[in-house]
Structure 1
Amino acid sequence: MIEKKTIFSLSSGRPPAGVAVVRVSGSAASAALLALGGRLPAPRRATLVRLRDAGTPIDDALVLWFPAPASFTGEDVAELHVTGGPAVVAALLRALGAIEGLRPAEPGEFTRRAFDNGKLDLTEAEGLADLIDAETEAQRRQALRQASGGLRALAESWHGRLLSILAETEASLDFGDDEEDVSTRLVEGEGPEIMALAREIESHLGNYQFAERLRRGLIIVLLGAPNAGKSSLINALAKRDVAIVSPEAGTTRDVIEVHLDLGGVAATLVDTAGLRDAEGAVEAEGVRRARERADEADLVVFLVGPDDRDTTIPAEAVVVESKADLRVDPMGERLRVSAVTGEGLAALESLLVERTSALAGAGQDALVTHARQRDALAECRHALIVSSEEPDVVLRAESLRVAMRALGRLTGRVGVEDILDIVFGRFCIGK
């Protein structure tokens, strides 16, 4: 077997910083520590060591040593905590690169090695990537539940139950009619057990749509006629100038996006071109993009200006009367806002929090958060249903094997080589 090279990388943020963490993983990690620090610290005990490159001091580092297999990757791992200055980090990385058997890590390679060594499964790796990307509290909680093995534990429970059912089915193939109790078990017990498992999987699939929205963040599109006040409103909600505000109609030609935290739910607020018969090719493209984004949005907020009387409002849109400071009489029992005076802005924010929570809130307790996970479980569930309805024991056993393979793809046990690069490619270098 060809031994993997030992990898190293900066695992903390880009310098300058107070502290930088450089991680080394592989069989030559101990040699690297000896070469740079002259000694191997006690396992899992922070030790102050002066690091040197060919005798030249680099920095006084806090060094941690994790012998295999009790480490993140399952390999020998060293962590070097040094001063987070660009020159210090560059010198340390240069010194590591000069040691035989070491090379810089690829994006996600530490986590990939942890997966290869059984330290975490594919669902936990996806949760870890989501945790790194999390921008809101709700996203953090969801990702941490996944990274901590929530779905893995559930999948292992399902795997054990499915394995028991398959074993009984396989027994019927071996013994046939010679074992009456086996045949009875197949008829009276196996079918209900299979359907109970299928229903349990279905219950977790039911919250996927909410969980996926929570993970990726919601899209909220502002629509309205030209000069309805969309750009002023997005500036007010963002609390900074992100869009050009002008009394001239048709100023906004392209979509403008702002990221918001609405009660722990990540959302992207999108300002769009005013809806009207465009006067030129550029504005027409802007209007087309506005309608396209509205079709893809999770929520549409439609602004009605003081002079808008015959506006066609999309179904299920949140309708807001804009420019309340210029209105003499309200158009109805709608929310009125003013980006100039601030009237109604707090109420609008509360309404957006309420609506986004309804769209994504159920996902906060969900464990199935990725399309890949959903597809694997949907295939498993379908195979279970087919098996429960199959009178032929040979075909029933084959459907159960299909379900078992689908469940294996969920955790990365089988048949995932084609997606591993995609999953681990999401990680930054050093993770």
Structure 2
Amino acid sequence: MALRRALGAAGRRGAQRLCSAAPGDTVFALSSGHGRCGVAVIRTSGPGSRGALHSLTGRPELPPPRVMALRRLRDPDTHETLDRGLVVWFPGPQSFTGEDCAELHVHGGPAVLSGVLRALGRLPGLRPAEPGEFTRRAFRRGKLDLTAAEGLGDLIHAETEAQRRQALRQVDGELGRLYGRWSETLTQALAHLEAYIDFGEDDAVEEEVLARVDAAVRALAQEIGTHLQDGRRGELLRGGVHAVIAGPPNVGKSSLLNLLCQRPAAIVSPVAGTTRDVVEVALNVGGYPLVLSDTAGLREATDPVEQEGVSRARERLKQADLVLAVLDAAAVPAEPAGLGAALGSLLPPKMPPCILVLNKADLLGGDGAALRGACAHGDPLPPAALVSCKTGEGLDRLLELLARQLARLCGDPLAGSPSLTRSRHSGHLGECAAELARYEPERRQDLAMAAERLRLARRHLGRITGHVGAEEVLDIIFRDFCVGK
């Protein structure tokens, strides 16, 4: 509670000073997680970091750069000892933000943190950091581009191994370097084209220059087109694959949800039509993120509330990346053709990838061999699993099929070129590709207009990395960062 009050008071003071703060002001924040812990990290960034270390340690000399030193931390006003901890000095530009930075590694009790944060807040020129402000400062000083900053945010929020791997590639700058290379190609093509426009009549620039520009633009357009046609792998991995459990009433859809998440997330009842709304849970399956939704049973309902639930279920099916189609194993034919017909009557055509789940295997007794054979048949049936939500039979097989489908949808985050991770990237790349597609028709009519197409295409690439027109997206990118990063 004391820590919360201290942070609240510091935040109010920071908000009051934020509008009038100079560009070179110094910010501070708790960069480790809240709550009691063994060690907490408080970070400062800005020209006042050196003075803050002097004030809190009471010593004129600073420790060697990037070397931890044990220091007694004191309140600058009362000289009362606040804690004994480790301090680290990062002189700019060799720091995360590119500015002078300091870190205080203190004990993680609320009283210690409250005292140190209050002491920092009373130093002149220091104010609490806004969410993502350290990373924003790093971007401003060229320590990373916007794609790397976005990757850092993804890394902080990563919950699965695959998400971590993808985010690390982006933090390391692979996506930014790819777009930077494309931007350099456009810059060179534009320079050659403009040189031909300016000096071509004087024979100072050879005719072959235009052919080289045309070839470079065609190759780049093809490369960007391939990059855009990745099946949204990066976006699915970043946000999670949305899977919908669909089926008739009373076939065990809610029981399946509870079995997969190992807790009673949905109400289970023998009464058909119990589920009226969409119940959603997030899971980690094989290192991939899965957002699983239980929906109302698909049937012609008469009750108005159930009708709304069925309508929501059908709408969710249209948005799904993956469908778990659940049928009653005791009520379906035991041959592939019959199973295919039962599945076709349940789901509309042109559905996303599907896994067929035949539930209630515990009711089959010795009659399940034929159905197991049908499940293993393959085409025209989707991957299928015979399970019992009551006994857990077949769960391993279902998880194996789920992991296989998720890996196919998300791809290997370490293989090939880095994937698109945000709709912002795909939007600008789509505009870039559209400008490149307009280049060739313009090239035959007006070289100056063709050059403008290349200029606009390069601008869209620059907006992804932040080299052009970054202001309008900065707040959107950094608003989801935690304070202290």
| C-alpha distance in 2 between matches for 1:147 and 1:190 | 32
- Whichever residue aligns with residue 360 of structure 1, its letter is C
Where does 1:129-148 land on structure 2 (aligned, <5 Å)?
A: 129-148=153-172
Counterpart of 1:156 in structure 2 is 180
2:427 to 343, 359, 375: 375
TM-score, length-normalised on structure 2?
Answer: 0.84
CA distance 1:380–1:306, change in 2 (3 Å): closer
- Whichever residue aligns with residue 343 of structure 1, its letter is E
Counterpart of 2:7 in structure 1 is none
Counterpart of 2:296 in structure 1 is 273
Counterpart of 2:328 in structure 1 is 305
| C-alpha distance in 1 between matches for 2:172 and 2:308 | 46
| Runs of 4 or more consecutive aligned structure 1 residues displaced over 4 Å after TM superposition | 306-311, 328-332
CA deviation after TM superposition for structure 1 residue 131, in Å: 0.8
Q: Among the aligned pairs, what percent are the same residue?
A: 51
Where does 1:306-325 land on structure 2 (aligned, <5 Å)?
A: 306=329, 308=331, 312-314=345-347, 315=349, 316=351, 317-325=354-362
| C-alpha distance in 2 between matches for 1:126 and 1:72 | 15
Counterpart of 1:45 in structure 2 is 67
1:353 to 400, 403, 409: 403
Structure 2 gap segments, 5+ residues each: 1-20, 333-341, 376-384
CA deviation after TM superposition for structure 1 residue 195, in Å: 0.9
Is 1:29 the counterpart of 2:79 in the alignment? Answer: no
CA deviation after TM superposition for structure 1 residue 35, in Å: 0.9
- Whichever residue aligns with residue 143 of structure 1, its letter is A
Counterpart of 1:407 in structure 2 is 461
TM-score, length-normalised on structure 1?
Answer: 0.94
| C-alpha distance in 2 between matches for 1:150 and 1:208 | 19
Per-residue CA deviations over 1:18-39 (Å, capped at 9, x if unaligned) read 1101111111111111111123
| C-alpha distance in 1 between matches for 2:248 and 2:311 | 13
CA deviation after TM superposition for structure 1 residue 306, in Å: 4.9
Corresponding residue pairs, total: 430
- Whichever residue aligns with residue 319 of structure 1, its letter is L
Counterpart of 1:396 in structure 2 is 450
| C-alpha distance in 1 between matches for 2:231 and 2:363 | 44
- Whichever residue aligns with residue 42 of structure 1, its letter is P
Counterpart of 1:15 in structure 2 is 35
Per-residue CA deviations over 1:164-204 (Å, capped at 9, x if unaligned) read 21111121122131125x24123332211111122222222
Secondary structure in 1 matching 2:66: coil
Counterpart of 2:127 in structure 1 is 103
2:118 to 91, 94, 98: 94
Per-residue CA deviations over 1:244-268 (Å, capped at 9, x if unaligned) read 2221222222222222222221001
CA deviation after TM superposition for structure 1 residue 337, in Å: 0.7
Counterpart of 1:80 in structure 2 is 104
Is 1:258 the counterpart of 2:303 in the alignment? Answer: no
- Whichever residue aligns with residue 255 of structure 1, its letter is V
Counterpart of 1:213 in structure 2 is 236
Contact residue 165 and residue 413 of structure 2 kept, 8 A: no
CA deviation after TM superposition for structure 1 residue 275, in Å: 2.2
Secondary structure in 2 matching 1:261: strand
| C-alpha distance in 2 between matches for 1:167 and 1:273 | 60
Secondary structure in 1 matching 2:51: helix
- Whichever residue aligns with residue 438 of structure 2, its letter is V
| C-alpha distance in 1 between matches for 2:422 and 2:85 | 40
Contact residue 145 and residue 367 of structure 1 kept, 8 A: no
Per-residue CA deviations over 1:224-249 (Å, capped at 9, x if unaligned) read 22211112111111122222222122
